[in-house]
A and B are shown apart, each in its own frame.
Chain A
Amino acid sequence: MADPRARRSPLAGWAPQLQALNGAIRAQELPFLTQLNLRLDSGGPAADPVAKVLGVSLPTVPCTSVGSGVYEVLWLGPDEWLILAPAGSAPELMIALREAIGSEHAAVTDVSAQRTTVQLSGPGARELLAKGCAIDLHPAASPEGSCVQTLLAQTGIIIVVRDGTATDFLLLVRSSFAEYFAAWLVDASVELTEPA
């Protein structure tokens, strides 16, 4: 029988290099998070029951996310959200959400392994992202809770802004692009982590 600990996250091979970044930039994969894609009419009858399950209403302001303490709900489109949840909670949460939705038109899809999540923090985080991302991540333009789907260099990426000083971000990247993403990140940080 395979050992469940044999699970391998997309950036397992990059952990040492990410760890070696320090000072202005800290980067760390948050592996195996539960991620569910939710499609739903936010004005429909299933919205409230879903909010009860999540402990928070689905955000309807474009490019925002809300957290309930347990779940982080990312707005991806007018009828689409990505729910981040603790590792291992996908089966129960899927069932709970589908029960809440009942026969309403919706879709809940487990996409936990579709993307991996990287926490990027530190005083150099915004400058590092600015090397490859056209979005204005200045706190004045992207306050805490902002959530954008954009490009970082040549890979699609979701960015969640986690504080009001642009020093803490969650980055979600498609698993097959994760190594490119990590290689880009490490390369981009050269000037930010070495003494000038």
Chain B
Amino acid sequence: MTRVAAGGRIDRNTELAFTFDGKAYRGYAGDTLASALLANGVHQVATSICYGRPRGIMAAGVEDANALVQIETPFPEPMLTATTVELYDGLVARGLQGQGRLADLPDQARYDAMHEHCDVLVVGAGPSGLMSALTAARAGARVVLLDDQPELGGSLLASRNQLAEWVSAVTSELNSLATVRVLRRTTAFGYYDDGFVLALEKRTDHLGAAAPPAAARQRIWRIRARQVILATGAHERPVVFADNDRPGIMLAGAGRAYLNRYGVLGGNRVVVFTTNDSAYTAALDLADAGAAVTVVDARTEIPQHPAAECARRGVALKAGHVVTGTSGNGRVTGAHIAPYADGKAGARQGIGCDLLLVSGGWNPTVHLFSQARGKLRYDESLGAFVPGSSVKAVRVAGSAAGVFTLSGCLSGAADAAVAALQELGLSSAPPALPSLDAEPETTPGLVLWAVPDKGDESGPCRRFVDFQRDSTVADILRATGAGLTSVEHVKRYTTIGTAHDQGKTSGMIASGIMAEALSTDKHQVEVASLGTTTFRPPYASVAFAALAGRDRGEIFDPVRVTEIHPWHLEHGAVFENVGQWKRPRYYPQRSAAGSIEDIDTAVLRECRTTRESVGMMDGSTLGKINVQGSDAGEFLDRLYTNLMSTLKPGFIRYGAMCGMDGMIIDDGTVARVSDTEFVLTTTTGNAAMILDWMEEFAQTEWPELRVNLTSVTEQWVTIALVGPRSRDVLASVAAELDLSNEAFGFMTWRDASVAGIEARICRISFSGELAYELNVNAWDGLALWEALIEAGKPYGITPYGTETMHVLRAEKGYPIIGQDTDGTVTPQDLGMGWVVSKKKLDFIGKRSFSRAENQRPDRKQLVGLLPVDRTVLLDEGAQVLATADLSQLPVPMLGHVTSSYRSAALDGTFALALVRAGRERIGQRLHAWQDGELVSVTVTDPVLYDKEGARRDG
């Protein structure tokens, strides 16, 4: 057992049972999986990805590059670091070799997101973050303070209760304030523009199976802050030496954290290899806990204070020495130390040890600052990059700013908060700084990236830089040897910094080793000029489930429905997605025996009933735009290809709109309500786009026109009542309305009461049949639909869906914009030259019609295709070929099939197609290519049914 008898921040009264690699262990509340494993003497937790080397726990936080584990229970989750998994009862985990496995069960946990706004966001709740947050909170600012740990205190948690009372008092004060939100277990993982910070809160992970099911397990916080203070601390940097990857080798600060925070003494015979003062605190704390400690300091001059403290405790001190390598079978059993001078290591000797702590200095955690577009500056004395420019509304405090004394951190953090408050116009009296013991003067550390190795890099000794990627010094040298001089290139060549930890312990070292490798006697390459690789979000791994949040299942994407939707559902409609709308595609009938019609049978039935008697369709999804103003007619004249201003109130006109290139973009009907008011329709999918298009012209091109546009798509439910008996059906529910052709002609509208509901009835037809389009206030839509279904019963009325609508319109050669067109088709190509005004001075697209390209006789034109074998259904998209001779490649292609259906009225299949010079080819035999075969087709006029229009008036 390596748990010390007392101390630490764990709760020794709450024992937790867990299983690792199939073996049962016990730990305490407050442990991480890593600390609990160490407490049980388990140092090896993983295996390296390429070389299969045993690997242990190297850090005590998010920067760990080694200890990847797979959680199995309560829910499988891959590739978490043991150092960031809080222990819970029943945890089952196993060590990984790089990759884990995703669960093959759906994750039942909830994930969500929360938007938050604040005056001051403080990232990190170590001494600096607490000081900044307290200062801002006391000034009355709205403050968000977040920290990735379960309790506040940051680096102080790894100390021997330093400032513990102060931390506790500040925590209580912040928690008590309504203006302050404290988020624990929360990692800010991305800084975006203008103070927009994303953070991940792990809310119930630490509860294991006891997590309440209603509570979101993880939450993405979308924080918009007016001022940001980054108190993100620093990560300790190792020194690279041969066999530096054995279990039992960890960062010095981690060794101290395990002792002081978790009550775990990582070893009894400890070597501390350092290049700087900071590791002495670890050495002294471990010695006080009873370990036999030897300090190996690469510097020849040891500062007086730590030297004296070492001497007082009998800690051996090897100044001017380095660790050159290690021994061990699995866990480290010995450190090889050698004198170090002029960048060279001398003769080595062994020291037995079961724990080797390493410190090469500290890298300020500048990730978020860099993402905020802050420039970094290389600090030669630290051997690290520090914030080197100011960024609007962003301040860096504490060790993240390169300040490594506690008093400096506290006063700097208070100053940062005061400055932020000043910009917010808030006056502040900074709280008194807590009193501190005198801090010994620090002496500069030695910047040492890697201990030189005389060994053969390809042999069993390897100097690891990125443990998770198994990348070594040799890999960097191979990259620079191959001529790579950019850190970004070397990163990609060696994969250093590309693992889950994103190079938190390896990136800086890689730059340093590169600089040395690229330097020659004549030319010194500076780390400063090499820089670092880009710090991209996310700072730490974020599960996709968290990012997806609640956008899954029923609310993955909005489903738009009409007011008649409940009826469609009740009557077994099969739906299709049209944009976000759910539209009935067809209504299969159920036979007495319980069998359900297939789509072909249902659609043929719906078509036949509609052509022979009467059918009805929910057309409410059509876009509808109300246009008002004294210049409304003029405005529409400029937008549509045809003339709208001459339309009289009470009348309706079909209209087409083109883009500036003369290509058709939408079509619909325009009804004139009064001299100054029109209502137009757009295709379902284009409703929003066309309103934007019209608004853009109204606002930016023709602001002189007095016209206003208002979307009324959802104000109206629209029902198409179609077929030769539609007049009879309507007559039975609209007794007051004269439905004769003379009184109510084609392309006119009337307001009337239908089944007691105020309706606007338009005589328009998208099928060639006598038809009425009834528009009512959407609230009345379902009642009207049901009334029409009832009134239509004597005529065998059928509801029909989009598929039948498509067949009926295609039989008449009516194109659907977006299906039979693709943005390269003019009205003339569609055979609709009649919709293009010759009289109007100008309209959008007019000038493009005179382009030579638009005049070519061999443009693709809309035609009908009849397969010679009328049972063969052409594929939409099938290529149309001029010849059946496929020996000459490439085979000339004339166009493609745009619509293809089975038709009851035509007693067989038919299609519409865009075919080069199609109208000239009417009567010709062409070939469609599908499923590896040729299908012979005859080109026809696109209008295949009721060419003379005899059915329009019933």
Interface residues of A (CB under 8 A from B): 1-4, 6-10, 13, 31-32, 37, 39, 105-115, 127, 130-136, 138, 140-141, 153-155, 174-177, 179-180, 183-184, 187-188, 190-191, 194, 196
In order of increasing CB-CB distance, the 6 nearest A-B pairs are: A1-B756, A107-B708, A107-B628, A113-B778, A136-B117, A176-B560
**16 A-B residue pairs with CB within 8 Å:** A2-B784, A6-B783, A7-B779, A8-B782, A107-B710, A109-B626, A112-B715, A112-B777, A114-B714, A115-B714, A131-B113, A154-B551, A175-B563, A176-B561, A191-B214, A191-B215
In the complex the two chains form, what is the Cα distance from A52 to B222 in whole Å? 44
Taking A109-B628, A196-B212 as contacts, is the C-beta distance between A187 and B555 under 8 angstroms? yes
Contacting residues, chain B, for A127 (C-beta < 8 A):
114
**Does the CB pair B557–A154 fall under 8 Å?**
yes
**Does the CB pair B777–A176 fall under 8 Å?**
no
Taking A2-B784, A109-B626, A188-B112 as contacts, is the C-beta distance between A174 and B714 under 8 angstroms? yes
Q: What residue in chain B is nearest A129 (Cβ atoms)?
A: B115
Contacting residues, chain A, for B713 (C-beta < 8 A):
114, 176
Contacting residues, chain A, for B784 (C-beta < 8 A):
2
Q: Does residue B237 face the partner (Cβ distance < 8 Å to A)?
A: no
**Does the CB pair B558–A177 fall under 8 Å?**
yes
Residue from the list A2, A39, A108 in contact with B755, Cβ < 8 A: A2
Contacting residues, chain A, for B779 (C-beta < 8 A):
7-9, 31-32, 113
Q: Does residue B6 face the partner (Cβ distance < 8 Å to A)?
A: no
Q: What residue in chain A is nearest B196 (Cβ atoms)?
A: A134
In the complex the two chains form, what is the Cα distance from A188 to B112 in whole Å? 8
Taking A8-B782, A114-B713, A153-B555 as contacts, is the C-beta distance between A131 and B561 under 8 angstroms? no
Contacting residues, chain B, for A184 (C-beta < 8 A):
550, 555
Residue from the list A154, A155, A175, A196 in contact with B778, Cβ < 8 A: A175
Q: Which B616-644 residues have a C-beta within 8 angstroms of A?
A: 621, 626, 628-630
Q: Does residue B581 face the partner (Cβ distance < 8 Å to A)?
A: yes
In the complex the two chains form, what is the Cα distance from A125 to B558 in whole Å? 22
In the complex the two chains form, what is the Cα distance from A111 to B710 in whole Å? 9
Q: What residue in chain B is nearest A135 (Cβ atoms)?
A: B115
Residue from the list A114, A141, A154, A191 in contact with B117, Cβ < 8 A: A141
**Does the CB pair A105–B629 fall under 8 Å?**
yes
Residue from the list A106, A134, A180 in contact with B224, Cβ < 8 A: A134
**Does the CB pair A140–B142 fall under 8 Å?**
yes
Residue of B115, B142, B626, B628 contacting most chain A CB atoms (<10 Å): B115
Closest chain B CB from A141 CB (angstroms): 7
Contacting residues, chain B, for A131 (C-beta < 8 A):
112-115, 550
Q: Does residue B17 face the partner (Cβ distance < 8 Å to A)?
A: no
In the complex the two chains form, what is the Cα distance from A31 to B558 in whole Å? 21
Q: What residue in chain A is nearest B564 (Cβ atoms)?
A: A8
Q: What residue in chain B is nearest A193 (Cβ atoms)?
A: B214
User: Interface size of B by Cβ–Cβ distance < 8 Å?
Assistant: 53
**Does the CB pair B715–A111 fall under 8 Å?**
yes
Q: Does residue B757 face the partner (Cβ distance < 8 Å to A)?
A: yes
Taking A8-B782, A191-B215 as contacts, is the C-beta distance between A130 and B563 under 8 angstroms? no
In the complex the two chains form, what is the Cα distance from A3 to B779 in whole Å? 12
**Does the CB pair B551–A176 fall under 8 Å?**
no
**Does the CB pair A180–B558 fall under 8 Å?**
yes
Closest chain A CB from B758 CB (angstroms): 10
In the complex the two chains form, what is the Cα distance from A95 to B115 in whole Å? 43
Closest chain B CB from A92 CB (angstroms): 15
Closest chain B CB from A45 CB (angstroms): 14
In the complex the two chains form, what is the Cα distance from A108 to B554 in whole Å? 37
**Does the CB pair B715–A1 fall under 8 Å?**
no
Q: Which B100-120 residues have a C-beta within 8 angstroms of A?
A: 110, 112-117
Q: Does residue B566 face the partner (Cβ distance < 8 Å to A)?
A: yes
In the complex the two chains form, what is the Cα distance from A28 to B715 in whole Å? 21
**Does the CB pair B560–A2 fall under 8 Å?**
no
Q: Does residue B216 face the partner (Cβ distance < 8 Å to A)?
A: yes
Closest chain B CB from A184 CB (angstroms): 5
Q: What residue in chain A is nearest B776 (Cβ atoms)?
A: A113
Closest chain A CB from B240 CB (angstroms): 45
Contacting residues, chain B, for A175 (C-beta < 8 A):
563, 714, 778
Q: Does residue B711 face the partner (Cβ distance < 8 Å to A)?
A: yes
In the complex the two chains form, what is the Cα distance from A155 to B580 in whole Å? 11
Contacting residues, chain B, for A110 (C-beta < 8 A):
715
In the complex the two chains form, what is the Cα distance from A16 to B780 in whole Å? 21
Q: What residue in chain B is nearest A108 (Cβ atoms)?
A: B628
Residue from the list A4, A155, A187 in contact with B550, Cβ < 8 A: A187
Closest chain A CB from B696 CB (angstroms): 15
Closest chain B CB from A93 CB (angstroms): 15
Residue from the list A8, A132, A183, A196 in contact with B563, Cβ < 8 A: A8
Closest chain B CB from A186 CB (angstroms): 10
Taking A2-B780, A188-B112 as contacts, is the C-beta distance between A176 and B708 under 8 angstroms? no
Contacting residues, chain A, for B714 (C-beta < 8 A):
113-115, 174-176
In the complex the two chains form, what is the Cα distance from A155 to B708 in whole Å? 24
Contacting residues, chain B, for A155 (C-beta < 8 A):
558
**Does the CB pair A7–B712 fall under 8 Å?**
no
Interface flags, B701-713, vs A, CB<8A=1, else 0: 0000010101111
**Does the CB pair A177–B783 fall under 8 Å?**
no
Contacting residues, chain B, for A190 (C-beta < 8 A):
110, 214
Closest chain A CB from B118 CB (angstroms): 9
Q: What residue in chain B is nearest A40 (Cβ atoms)?
A: B708
Q: Does residue B559 face the partner (Cβ distance < 8 Å to A)?
A: yes
Contacting residues, chain A, for B629 (C-beta < 8 A):
105, 107
In the complex the two chains form, what is the Cα distance from A115 to B562 in whole Å? 12
**Does the CB pair B117–A138 fall under 8 Å?**
yes
Q: Which B745-771 residues have a C-beta within 8 angstroms of A?
A: 755-757
Contacting residues, chain B, for A113 (C-beta < 8 A):
714-716, 777-779
Q: Does residue B787 face the partner (Cβ distance < 8 Å to A)?
A: yes
Closest chain A CB from B732 CB (angstroms): 12
In the complex the two chains form, what is the Cα distance from A7 to B756 in whole Å? 12
**Does the CB pair A130–B116 fall under 8 Å?**
yes
**Does the CB pair A183–B555 fall under 8 Å?**
yes
In the complex the two chains form, what is the Cα distance from A37 to B710 in whole Å? 8
In the complex the two chains form, what is the Cα distance from A1 to B736 in whole Å? 13
Taking A39-B710, A134-B222, A154-B551 as contacts, is the C-beta distance between A176 and B114 under 8 angstroms? no
Closest chain A CB from B630 CB (angstroms): 7
Taking A7-B780, A153-B551 as contacts, is the C-beta distance between A114 and B212 under 8 angstroms? no
Contacting residues, chain B, for A105 (C-beta < 8 A):
629-630, 706, 708
Q: What residue in chain B is nearest A176 (Cβ atoms)?
A: B560
Contacting residues, chain B, for A183 (C-beta < 8 A):
554-555
In the complex the two chains form, what is the Cα distance from A138 to B181 in whole Å? 13
Contacting residues, chain B, for A31 (C-beta < 8 A):
779
Contacting residues, chain B, for A108 (C-beta < 8 A):
628
Contacting residues, chain A, for B110 (C-beta < 8 A):
190-191
| Given A107-B628, A187-B555: 18 more A-B contacts, CB < 8 Å | A1-B755, A8-B566, A8-B783, A10-B778, A39-B710, A105-B630, A107-B708, A108-B628, A113-B778, A114-B712, A131-B112, A131-B115, A138-B142, A140-B142, A154-B551, A175-B563, A190-B214, A191-B214
Closest chain B CB from A74 CB (angstroms): 14
Residue from the list B114, B557, B715 in contact with A130, Cβ < 8 A: B114
Contacting residues, chain A, for B783 (C-beta < 8 A):
2-3, 6-8
Q: Which B591-618 residues have a C-beta within 8 angstroms of A?
A: none
Contacting residues, chain A, for B224 (C-beta < 8 A):
134, 136
In the complex the two chains form, what is the Cα distance from A132 to B777 in whole Å? 30
Contacting residues, chain A, for B560 (C-beta < 8 A):
176-177, 180
Closest chain A CB from B787 CB (angstroms): 5
Q: What residue in chain A is nearest B626 (Cβ atoms)?
A: A109
Q: Which B773-797 residues have a C-beta within 8 angstroms of A?
A: 777-784, 787
Closest chain A CB from B52 CB (angstroms): 44
Contacting residues, chain A, for B117 (C-beta < 8 A):
136, 138, 141
In the complex the two chains form, what is the Cα distance from A112 to B716 in whole Å? 10
Q: What residue in chain B is nearest A155 (Cβ atoms)?
A: B558
**Does the CB pair B215–A109 fall under 8 Å?**
no
**Does the CB pair A2–B554 fall under 8 Å?**
no
In the complex the two chains form, what is the Cα distance from A177 to B706 in whole Å? 31
Closest chain A CB from B730 CB (angstroms): 14
